[in-house]
Amino acid sequence: MNADGKSDEFVVPSTQANNAGTEPAAEPVEERNSAKRNVDTSDPDRTPKRTKRGSLGLAGVRETARAQPELKFTSLLHHVNVDLLRKAFFDLKRTAAVGIDEVTWHDYEQGLEDRLADLHGRVHRGAYRAKPSKRIYLTKPDGRQRPIGIASLEDKIVQKAVTWVLECIYEPDFLGFSYGFRPGKSQHQALDALSVALTSRKVSWVLDADVAGFFDAIDHEWLVKFLEHRIGDKRILRLIGKWLRAGVSEDGEWSETTVGTPQGAVISPLLGNVFLHYVLDLWIQWWRKHECRGDVVVIRYADDCAPGNVHLR
């Protein structure tokens, strides 16, 4: 499954969870190229149109990434322009919790164009500074506390814009059994894939795995090494480094962050998927081709993974 980065083709889904039309939705059972479909939905500039620099914009990044899976992109920051920052701003939730800057979406909307022009200038001059995340806690169903990091509004805007750029590169790379926090994929499709695998195949066993404290424990050094496989633009890497090292503020007290990326940060889901792509997904892909004794269906949603042995040869 997914040996070539495409979705599995040996099972056909019985439902179309959270997806309109007649196209199958669940990865280990779908017959389409999910990477191609999903990256098409992630690009806010879906229609290829040339910029003043003669490129095809984000559509060009997407097509180049798909055509050249080994290419390292050395010029990406120019895609984070005022137009993309504006789209990112309007894509944010209007009523979201504020960070340590205490700036709401409606506050920032006042004088928006001047604010975006200033933000764009700081990002491209290297004068942009990430603010610490505001630490809050949400209660889990089992009573434990989940730490959440609320970014400042400008950090949310820039992170979303950068996320859109990086999605154009990584969506063609990500394997089809990865469902969490990806354009065009959902938890419903992951459940649909699991259901079809269990009901249509002779399953010997199912393993449910969850990485404890995953987002809080991501190794910064390894994450940057993984990003460097595809990202050669040092300015983009420096931006990501600023967010990783910005620290957290809890009850007015700042603390350093040497590992992890805050749950709640706009870019954290993508960074988490990049990390797991290299440390888990590619390993599973290799293992089931070279080591396992039977067919294996894998379904991963963020750091939750459910591999199952379908049948032994």
* 248-250/133-139 β-pairing: parallel
- How does pLDDT run across 155-205, given as a tens digit for each residue? 999 999 999 999 999 999 999 989 989 999 988 999 998 888 888 888 888
Identify the bridge partners of residue 135 per DSSP, sorted by sequence position.
149
DSSP H or E run through 120 = helix 112-125
Mean pLDDT, residues 254-276 taken together: 92
pLDDT at 28 over 50: no
Mean predicted lDDT score pLDDT of the chain: 82
- How does pLDDT run across 140-151, given as a tens digit for each residue? 888 888 888 999
* Euclidean distance between CA atoms 189 and 194, whole angstroms: 9
Residues 6+ apart with CB under 8 A from 279: 222, 226
pLDDT at 20 over 50: no
* Euclidean distance between CA atoms 85 and 170, whole angstroms: 20
Distances (CA, A) of 50 to 28, 30, 61, 126: 36, 34, 12, 26
pLDDT at 312 over 60: no
CB of 77 closer than 8 Å to CB of 123: yes
* Euclidean distance between CA atoms 198 and 246, whole angstroms: 44
